[in-house]
Structure 1
């Protein structure tokens, strides 16, 4: 007879059925509250969405600093978080060209300051600025596209969310060979393919709903974004494993930190924005 908290074959303590049910309930309630708020901000756009993105960027920067620089000083933490906030404010006022230039300068400045301050992981610390800023600016840029911005952002969000759902469902039901067990032991090839299929279906559905010119291409693009999204997930998993952390934070009940929820989106967004900016009109897919 097993105890309520049994030990798995890997030696880790496995949560009981009651614990798993409680965790799923907490995750569901968190998503039920946060999901509609995010979608409302996306729908209204403008300053409402800008405020959401500013809050997201500041919280994500704070999580990143806590994750990669445990022995941080207050000055270094404030510089990193303030740099991310400054880039977004400049984007609101002067546009993406100026904000990208400022991001580059502040990344170098943070690295120099971290070096002078003898920060142990100064490269990772400084990398947090482009990591968070590029994703945030990309989401703002996509939403700001005249006429098509709302539909394109909904498409991107649904593709990434569907990736997470499909990968989780396929990984749990099918299992099979692991993708990269040293980085993320639970992720499987079945999960990767399931995420791609799910993203393609939802991406095509959103494209049809918004009257896109080529929903078939939208499905293929969503499958590609699924791979990019899962690569972002792997990246953050690798960072957490390096620092022996299970979650990036504890901001969202049942979900861990903010970065745990957006690690795929924060990487997929710049790829999608770059694709649409360079090839969107040429391919006329939307």
Structure 2
């Protein structure tokens, strides 16, 4: 079979971009609607996303017993999220850590520690998202701050990386990422975080500007971590659930790290400074 010519490759690239855009147009409003409504609608969405994400992790990391690993991972992540909803973050975090131990035992294999870590990685992200949204007064604002800052990071990093280029950020892990992209992502996230703070009447919008830039760095760490795992096991995407985008983990890797960080910041320094 002859190899495709450059002319043949161009339509496929355009088709991929159209597919990505269509998926974003369909899924974006649904996610934002659940975030806006909150309550059980949001809880169910997070639980579903967490189970799908940890299932992708099971498929990504080699193990000896796939079905027991999947059952234990899903149960552990759900238990942690339910505990957060009903009893608060302390027990939820304990269950998230316990899920890592249980998953590493259930799955077995040479990658036990990394396999088990996936349950905690996903569960802590879910716990952070639920904790933020369930805050009685500013939950919606703070969750939108975290989510939109992460989205702005991706957009700003892509735009700056493509237009400026320059030195690579982590060439062995993700060859396309550049330092210019990271800075562009930080600027974008800072501006979006500041805009969200202004829109919701935060007490210290300037601190939101700084926090947005930090969220950008944290989310890029999450992105690089998942990229390193995929590269280790020679996988292009974590899954194929979202047309044009790959898997759930490919879309939320940065948010899974950023949400707990924003939650801890708000519960400690942010509360002390009354920033929101």
TM tier relative to shorter chain:
over 0.9
Alpha-carbon separation, structure 2, partners of 1:264 and 1:104: 20
Question: Which residues of 2 match residues 70-219 of structure 1 at below 5 A?
Answer: 71-114=64-107, 118-219=108-209
The structure in which a higher percent of residues are helix is: 2
1:25 to 2:18 alignment: yes
TM-score by length of 1: 0.91
Which of residues 45, 51, 54 is equivalent to 1:52? 45
Q: Deviations over 1:6-28 (max 9, x none)?
A: 5xxxxxxx982211111110001
Deviation at 1:39, TM superposition (A): 0.5
Displacement, 1:107? 2.1
Equivalence for 1:268? 258
State the 1:73 CA deviation: 2.9
- TM-aligned CA deviation for residue 257 of structure 1: 0.5
User: Can you give the 5+ residue segments of structure 1 that lack an aligned partner in the other structure?
Assistant: 7-13
Q: Which moved more, 1:153-162 or 1:275-284?
A: 275-284
Q: Offset at 1:70? A: 5.7
- Larger mean CA deviation between 193-202 and 95-104 belongs to 95-104
Partner of residue 16, structure 1:
9
Q: Could you tell me how far apart the structure 2 residues matched to 1:157 and 1:164 are?
A: 11
Q: What are the superposed Cα offsets for residues 92-126 of structure 1, whole Å, 9 maximum, x if unpaired?
A: 33332222222222322222333xxx422111111
Q: How many residues align?
A: 274
213 and 93 in structure 1: CA distance in 2 versus 1, 3 angstrom threshold: closer
Q: Retained in 1: the 8 A contact 2:104–2:115?
A: yes
Deviates more, 1:104-113 or 1:29-38: 104-113
Structure 2 stretches lacking a partner, 5+ long: none
Q: Does 1:35 align with 2:24?
A: no
Give how far 1:220 is off: 1.0
TM-score w.r.t. the length of structure 2 is 0.95
Q: Partner of 1:63 in structure 2?
A: 56
